[in-house]
Structure 1
Amino acid sequence: MAVTRRERFVHAQLGWMLAGTFALSVLDAFSYELFFVVALIGFLVVTELTAPFSVTPRWRRRLRWIIALGLVGFGYVIVRRILDLLPPGVL
């Protein structure tokens, strides 16, 4: 039985997330924020590397929503980190 492109995409993303979890654990730097950022970077990379040249399937068009939500979450993580760095009386 042949593996579909969608299954390859899911396998690649799952592999990236497992490798990221392992690397963060080995470096003793695991946090949910860092895992989210690593998973989002992996998702963007896998999305670009597996993009078809001519016809875009319907399931790939739905990835735009996931990317948008991921970028909003990334913005939230960045704002939180910036607010943590600011002195207490600034805001």
Structure 2
Amino acid sequence: MYYLEDGTFLILSYNLPDIIFAYQNQSTRAGLDELQINSSKPQFKWGHLKVDDINATSFKNLESVMRHIERDMETDLVVEYLRGVQR
């Protein structure tokens, strides 16, 4: 686990089967959901990327990986906002 900046953490894992990867993500989310600061629950943007033999050449360095993850998180945020507006 690495702290990058601005409240951004990067977790690097070795090659995992998809089911274990999904379990670790679910477990981490559940743990974060339990956090409470005074009477407030912090909100988190969450993103992940599995770099493997198939897509490794698409990501030349850490910066390209982080850009991809940030775009995914921004898309998720917009989708969540639009769901709230439609309700």
| TM-score between the two structures when normalised by the length of structure 2 | 0.39
Structure having greater relative contact order (Cα 8 Å, sep ≥ 6): 1
State which structure, 1 or 2, has the greater radius of gyration over its C-alpha atoms. 1
The answer to which structure has the higher helix fraction is 1
